[in-house]
Structure 1
C-alpha cells in the first residue's frame, strides 16, 4: 500500500511541477539574455511593485538600458510629483525589446503596467524588467540635460544606432 501511495504522490508532484513551470513560462530565461557590450548590472531598489533607478548614485548623469524579459507588452511609467505641474510619462515596451533612458536625478521610480489597451494589471517591474547601466564615460556629455527617453521599444539590433543618433557614444 505504501508503494502505491508513494507513486500517486510522486505523480501528483510531477504534475504540479509541470503546471508551475508553465505558469512561470511567462518570463524569458534571464540567464540566457546577457547585457549588451558596455552595459553592466546596476544597483536598483524596489518598493511595492515599482523599480527605483539610481537609488544612491553620486553620478550626475546615468544611462540605463531596460529590457522586457516577459512575454507581454507593458507600459513603463514614471509618475510625476503630484505637487508640481509635471505630468507622469511612460513608454510602451514589447517582449524582447529594449529602451534607454537618461537620468539626472536619484530615486527615479517606475512602475510597469500590462498594456492591453486598457492598462489593467500592475506588474512587479523586478519580475518583468532587466536593467543595466552604460559606463559613465560613455554618456558624460549629457550631464544636466534633464531626464528623458533616448530610445524606446527597440530590438537590440536597433537600440545602439538609435542611441548613437541621439549623440551618445557607446562601446557597441
Structure 2
C-alpha cells in the first residue's frame, strides 16, 4: 500500500517519464501547474526508492571521475558502470578517501570490487596512494581490481 501522497501513482510515473526525457523541473512544474518544490520532492523520493533497490552485483567495468559546477567549487566523485552507462556511486569530494567511499557504496548495493576487471579513471594521481595502474595484459587485470580501491 502506498503511503499518503499528493499525487496518484500514475501521475507520479508521468512526471518521472517527463524528467527522464530531459525536461527541466521548472518546465514540468509549469506544464502541470504545480510547484517545483513538489516536483523535486517527488523525484527525490523516486531516486531514493531506485537507489535502495539497486543491485550492482554484475558490475565488472567502471569509470571514475570527479567534477565541479564551477572552478573553485566543491567537487563530487562519480563511479559509473560502463556496460550500462549508469551511475553506480557518487560521493562528496575528490580527496584521498573518495575512492574508498565509492567502493563502500558499490559494496552496499551488492557489488564486489574484486570482480571489477577494468577501471577507467580520470582522477588526478595525487588523490590516490598508489598512483596510476600500469598497462598490463588482459589476464593480469585482476591485479588492477584488487588495487584500485585500496586506500
With the length of structure 2 as denominator, give the TM-score of the two structures: 0.22
Tell me: higher relative CO, structure 1 or 2? Use CA pairs within 8 A at least 6 residues apart.
1
Higher share of residues assigned strand: 1
Bigger helix share:
2
